[in-house]
Chains A and B, each alone.
Chain A
């Protein structure tokens, strides 16, 4: 089997230029409006606000400033599908994925009418090209490559940052701790929630077994009520209490 490929996004070198977001839209011919409706927030550099059916890359701008805006910083992160290691890859168009995705990545694309998200530029990969977003990134904040190599690079980068006094730097999703490993992982400098990432994402399937068991138990109880009252009804009928 071919080596698994993925993304390592180093948020410390992102300059928020959005070249990745634009390159993704161009390559994948994603519309600028959502079925004709303007989706831009118009009140922040983070104009497109979220990942959805027409934004497969989203450059998140996080402002952390004092009340008097004297002291503070910008955090920027180019967000994308996390390409979970254990995701199902068979789509039958049921749209269940939209509510099931632990990261809220997927939504409907109004042009196709189907649920869509980043494909890791599978079409480009097949002819040996780098995904459009990684190719466009001027600072190499987005790195694409074989996962093992990316992980090695990422750990080296964290060590380098720690040496230089940026002790808050850490990797999100590089090991099994998050959903058994993400094929798109990040270098962050603050809590995941600050970047709009869940600290402890959960697989939707966790509820399948207990929910089915409880439903089975409920079915048994309903069946029991039915059977007992059938018996009672027969007794009533035999006792001739039918007064119709």
Chain B
């Protein structure tokens, strides 16, 4: 399984190149030539390859856990896809939070929120399939961990942010950061439940 280590190292290299390119874009004197790493053919190659490696990495950790003999982790083939979809949704939420600090244009914000919304629905579907695929092993989840999964991940991390964005219950400026923060909390709880429930099974 050293494939993952290679992918991680390569992803790190591409992320670094993008970072250096972004320094060039920041307009600091003397760094402008670095912008070739972000623009033009070279920039596109770096972005696309780095993005593909990012996809690999997002699913890899889940697949790695599935290729064991630990309860729960090895009882379903859906851990990788669950981690991947959840990672995508968390990334969109993180971008929203970062964007808000830097005065993101409204159409970009609503674009990110729309992506995140679709990803959260996808995550909900994968999560249901995941629990179903566990079969009898899911009984472990019906105790405290199951409650945490339903409250922390499904309710706090998915349904509540979706409802906040849709119904606009909060004063205008608070909706986007609150919903994004809840998505991050839900993603964290999902990982806590999956890692620790296998230990206690």
Chain A residues within 8 Å of B, Cβ to Cβ:
92, 94, 96, 99-102, 104, 201-202, 204-205, 207-208, 210-219, 221-223, 225-226, 229, 232-233, 236-237, 241-244
Q: How far is the CB of A86 from chain B (nearest CB, A)?
A: 15
Determine the distance from Cα of A236 to Cα of B68 in the docked complex, in whole angstroms: 46
- Assuming the contacts A236-B111, A243-B106, asked whether A222 and B67 have C-beta atoms less than 8 A apart, the reply is no
Determine the distance from Cα of A10 to Cα of B160 in the docked complex, in whole angstroms: 60
Q: How far is the CB of A221 from chain B (nearest CB, A)?
A: 6
Q: Does B139 contact A (CB under 8 A)?
A: no
Chain B residues within 8 Å of A, Cβ to Cβ:
1-2, 55, 58-60, 62-64, 66-70, 73-74, 77-82, 84-85, 88, 105-108, 110-111, 114-115, 118-119, 122, 126
Determine the distance from Cα of A225 to Cα of B62 in the docked complex, in whole angstroms: 21
Across the interface, do B67 and A211 meet the contact criterion of CB distance under 8 Å?
Answer: yes
Query: Which residues of chain B have C-beta atoms less than 8 A from A241's C-beta?
Result: 107
Across the interface, do B77 and A217 meet the contact criterion of CB distance under 8 Å?
Answer: no
Q: How far is the CB of A244 from chain B (nearest CB, A)?
A: 4
Residue of A nearest to B75 (CB): A207
Please classify the interface of chain B as helix (H, G, I), strand (E, B), loop, or mixed, using the class held by over half of its residues.
helix
Across the interface, do B74 and A204 meet the contact criterion of CB distance under 8 Å?
Answer: yes
Across the interface, do B68 and A222 meet the contact criterion of CB distance under 8 Å?
Answer: no
Query: Which residues of chain B have C-beta atoms less than 8 A from A210's C-beta?
Result: 77
Specify which of A99, A226, A242 is in contact with B107 (CB 8 Å cutoff): A242
Q: How far is the CB of A101 from chain B (nearest CB, A)?
A: 7
Determine the distance from Cα of A216 to Cα of B66 in the docked complex, in whole angstroms: 15
Across the interface, do A207 and B67 meet the contact criterion of CB distance under 8 Å?
Answer: yes
Query: Which residues of chain B have C-beta atoms less than 8 A from A217's C-beta?
Result: 81
Determine the distance from Cα of A100 to Cα of B63 in the docked complex, in whole angstroms: 13
Q: How far is the CB of A70 from chain B (nearest CB, A)?
A: 36
Specify which of A102, A214, A242 is in contact with B106 (CB 8 Å cutoff): A242
Across the interface, do A236 and B110 meet the contact criterion of CB distance under 8 Å?
Answer: yes
Given A99-B73, A207-B77, A212-B80, list of 6 further CB < 8 A pairs?
A: A96-B1, A102-B69, A214-B81, A215-B59, A215-B84, A218-B126
Specify which of A94, A208, A225, A242 is in contact with B67 (CB 8 Å cutoff): A208
Closest 6 CB pairs of A and B: A215-B59, A218-B81, A215-B80, A210-B77, A99-B68, A233-B111
Residue of B nearest to A233 (CB): B111
Determine the distance from Cα of A202 to Cα of B77 in the docked complex, in whole angstroms: 14
Across the interface, do B106 and A244 meet the contact criterion of CB distance under 8 Å?
Answer: yes
- Assuming the contacts A207-B66, A233-B111, asked whether A221 and B85 have C-beta atoms less than 8 A apart, the reply is yes
Determine the distance from Cα of A200 to Cα of B80 in the docked complex, in whole angstroms: 25
Across the interface, do A211 and B80 meet the contact criterion of CB distance under 8 Å?
Answer: yes
Across the interface, do A223 and B55 meet the contact criterion of CB distance under 8 Å?
Answer: yes
Query: Which residues of chain A have C-beta atoms less than 8 A from B122's C-beta?
Result: 221-222, 225
